[in-house]
Amino acid sequence: MLQVGLIVVMNQIGSLVPCSRATLPIFHQILCRVGASDIQLRGVSTFLAEMVEAAAILKTANARSLAIIDELGRGTSTHNGFGIAYAIMVELITRARCFTLCATHFKEMAALTKYPGVVTRHFTAQRVESGKLVFLYKVQDGVCEHSYAINVAEIAKMPPPVIESARNKLLELQSAKFRSGPLVQALHDATSFAHFTASLAPLLETA
């Protein structure tokens, strides 16, 4: 993502850019929220630093800005982090209307595609016959449906018992999510609370 920012700067100073073809607008400013660091001497946590930078972007972003945002919301709990990241992105889309690159592991952020001009992309990887993970370094449309975190842990030579424990816990969490899926869908589809409670009976019978 930082490379995109560097390419924009190179383009605007008239330099050659490292690509075979490029069409870039002229941006008035580049706004970045990347990395993770704290300022201990000032009592600023990683998450507070993240929020201060995000607030500065919201205050200054406009239609001629380029915003580069990496893993917004990772410094707090999953639900809080997603909620804040989603709200910030909605603000950039609807008010600032600036060109934004946002990298995230929150798959639910894909719901932002309901807004005009928002698209999702992901980097591809694949497992070969030996079970090893091969990074293809190619961008494809859509959301990545698979997480390769445990595979990366294996590449980092994590002890096999830890890897096995992680796989078991993942299967446990995925199973719990699957069981709750119909209930979440019923709540989403219900037109009223009475409608929702009425739809619970058949779901509970099959649980």
Residues 34 and 100 in one domain: yes
Judge whether 45 lies within some domain.
yes
| Domain contains 167 | yes
Other Cβ atoms closer than 10 A to 91: 14
Q: What is the pLDDT along the chain (207 residues), one digit of tens a residue?
A: 888 999 999 999 999 999 888 889 999 999 999 887 777 777 788 888 889 999 999 999 999 999 999 999 888 888 888 999 999 999 999 999 999 999 998 888 988 999 999 999 988 877 666 667 778 888 889 888 778 888 889 889 999 999 999 999 988 887 765 454 555 555 556 555 566 556 656 655 555
* Domain ranges, residue 192: 148-207
If asked whether residues 66 and 160 sit together in one domain, one would say no
Tell me the H-state helices in 13-97.
46-60, 78-91
The answer to whether residue 155 is domain-embedded is yes
Total domains present in the chain: 2
pTM (two decimals): 0.75
Cα–Cα nearest to 50, from 27, 68, 33, 26: 33
For residues 91 and 60, the answer to whether their CB atoms sit within 8 Å is: no
Q: Do residues 25 and 112 both lie within one domain? A: yes
Q: Is residue 107 part of a domain?
A: yes
C-alpha span between 154 and 132 (Å, rounded) = 9
Same domain, 99 and 186: no
